[in-house]
Amino acid sequence: MGSSKIEALHFIDGTWIGGNPPLMRAFDHATWLGGGVFDGARAFEGVTPDLDLHCARAVRSARNMGLKSPLSAGEIEEIVRDGIGQFPKDAQLYIRPFLWSTEGWMAPDPASTRICISLTVTPLPEPKGTKVCLSRFRRPSAETAPTDAKAVCLYAQAGRASGEAHERGFDDGIMLDPLGNVAEFSTANLWIAKDGAAITPVPNGTFLNGLTRQRVMQLLGKAGVPVHERTLSFEDVKTADEVFSTGNFGKVMPMVQVEDRRLEIGPTFRQARQLYWEFAHTANR
């Protein structure tokens, strides 16, 4: 298999295969009852920031959904690194451990959990700026959905928010929590900058406390930037000096429009992105 032509690799049942292989059967539990979780990590420019934490979260998400990973976090990481080595060194990869249930009635049978570890060539998006709007679709509470896992079933609601935004001519939607406070974007954590401080919604059980979010909080705080976790209203976002996101897919990305208000790509975003890239290249290889 020529590495220069590889676009995707998947580790299933002890073997690497290419393409887009079928995984689930018609009556697998996950097919019709949603017993599936995944995680996302990145490899780019020869680094894999926080790969160990992403692998650990995949195992933890599985456990929180009533699944049981057939592999430990360390074993998943070893397999991922083996897969990365089969791509060109400059490849930008999206890394996805996916775990799902094959047996169970309503609850999944944890002993039936399978895993597929996928690596696909997926370029990082350019930080040119994103246009966002308020979505009418909200994030669920911890009592109404498995918000303590990166569960596949949660993404149907996020997809509705994203689709609604695109229909309105925007790139993404801002989702509120059940009480009407700002939660996050459809697939990334939300930040604002105001009067020199970086502010992000306090985790309240309605969205994942993202690994990139946690890392950026740490890096900005260490650099002397005031960082606050607060309950935010949509008005807070609309009147912010800057708005940006953190998440695995794009890492740190700027917003240039919120509804009809235009924004500049500002210094807090630029510092956050620079600090993250420095961290990725010095602490992760």
Which domains, from first to last, does the chain contain? Answer: 3-121 (3.30.470.10), 130-283 (3.20.10.10)
What does the pLDDT read at residue 1? 41
Is-contact 243 132, C-beta < 8 A?
Answer: yes
Closest CA to 50 of 218, 267, 221, 220: 218
Rounded to whole angstroms, the Cα distance separating 195 from 79 reads 45
> What length is written for the chain?
285
Q: Compute the distance between CA of residue 200 and CA of residue 14 in angstroms, rounded to an integer.
A: 41
Reported as type and span, the H/E element at residue 274 is helix 267-283
pLDDT of residue 284: 59
Rounded CA gap, 60 and 52, in Å? 12
The pLDDT value given to residue 6: 84
Q: What does the pLDDT read at residue 283?
A: 81
Contact 192, 223 (CB under 8 A): no
The rounded distance, in Å, linking the Cα atoms of 1 and 20 is 16
pLDDT, position 261: 97
Cβ 244 vs Cβ 269: under 8 Å: yes
Give residue 111's Cα distance to chain centre: 27
CA 172 – CA 161 distance, rounded (Å)? 7
**The token pair that represents 78 in the structure block:** 């070893």
Return the SS3 of 36: strand
pLDDT, block means (10 residues), the chain with 285 residues: 72 96 95 96 96 98 98 98 95 98 96 98 96 98 96 96 98 98 97 97 96 98 98 98 97 98 97 98 76
Strands 114-121 and 8-12, by their bridges, are: antiparallel
220-243 burial by CB neighbour count: b if 16+ within 10 A, else e?
beeeebebeeeebeeebbbebebb
Residue 3 has what pLDDT?
A: 43
pLDDT at 2: 41
268 burial (CB, 10 Å; 0-12 / 13-18 / 19+) is buried
Give the CA distances from residue 39 to residues 15, 78, 113, 216, in Å, rounded to whole numbers and listed in that order. 20, 16, 15, 19
| pLDDT at residue number 5 | 75
